[in-house]
Amino acid sequence: MTEQNPYNPDPYHAPQGQSGYPQPYPGQSGWSQQPPVATGLTKAALIIGIVAIVLAFIPVVGFISFILGPLALILGIIGLVKQVPRRGYAITGIITGAAALIVCIIYVIIAVALVNVVEKGVGETAPFTYTVTGTGDYTVSYTEESVTEEHTEDVAGGEFSREVTASTVFGSLGASNAHGNTGTLTCTITQADGTVVAKDSAAGASATVACLTGEGFMK
């Protein structure tokens, strides 16, 4: 009969209830611990945040991010507070949601500024001098107080000049060479104090020039 070494017990004759193989340390569930699984909360924060930041850069559709951005932000914060697994998902949701919200706010600021410009341009008028000079026959078109009513005149060379009251933003003056004319055209819009707010020149058979009163406003 072979004597069994007490320091190397036979795994095949281990006491009942024991496998004979080394057991995990107390507090361990096994040899390897599974990585934490992302919860629906952190996944939602991540996905909604990514969708929000992508849509935020698409005109018109981007305003949906005004809803998705804060939603991703809130879900991400809740995930961090509750210390759910996959905190990286929650943090990414917070970052992308906040970025989408910032982009939307910038859009709103730009939109409000444009509306103010339009309202100011439609509502305010001022005196201007419209001038066009050409070395041959050309056609002039211009607007005054009504931006939808365009006046057109044919000019047989030389200078065209009109004193008008026009919109401070949308008043327009344009000219184009008549058929067969290859000369030079120049349009100029001047304020009452003599300040030139717009000027444009062109030459050739298809020369066209355009001036706007709003060019001075935007400088």
Residue-level pLDDT at 105: 92
Residue-level pLDDT at 140: 96
Residue-level pLDDT at 134: 93
Residue of 178, 197, 199 lying closest to 188 (CA atoms): 199
Residue-level pLDDT at 85: 78
Across-strand partners of 131? 161, 188
Q: CA geometry: angle at 9 spanning 4 and 10, to 5°?
A: 85
Give the fold, CATH level 3, of 126-218: Immunoglobulin-like (2.60.40)
Q: CA geometry: angle at 48 spanning 47 and 52, to 5°?
A: 120
Task: Please state whether the predicted TM-score (pTM) of the whole model is above 0.95.
Answer: no
Q: Which positions of the chain have pLDDT values less than 70?
A: 1-38, 118-123, 216-219
Contacts of 39 (CB under 8 A, 6+ apart): 79, 84, 85, 86
Instruction: Enter the DSSP assignment of 164.
Output: E
Residue-level pLDDT at 160: 95
Residue-level pLDDT at 217: 55
Helices 40-56, 65-81: crossing angle, 10 deg rounding:
150
Q: Where are the domains of the chain?
A: 40-121, 126-218
For 162: left if phi > 0, alpha if psi spans -120 to 50, otherwise beta; the answer is beta
Beta pairing, strands 125-143 & 184-191: antiparallel
Length of the chain (residues): 219
**Could you give the CA distance from residue 126 to residue 106 in angstroms, rounded to a whole number?**
32
Residue-level pLDDT at 32: 46
State whether residue 70 is helix, strand or coil.
helix
Count of C-beta atoms within a 10 Å radius of residue 61: 11
Residue-level pLDDT at 8: 53
Contact 71, 53 (CB under 8 A): no
Residue-level pLDDT at 84: 76
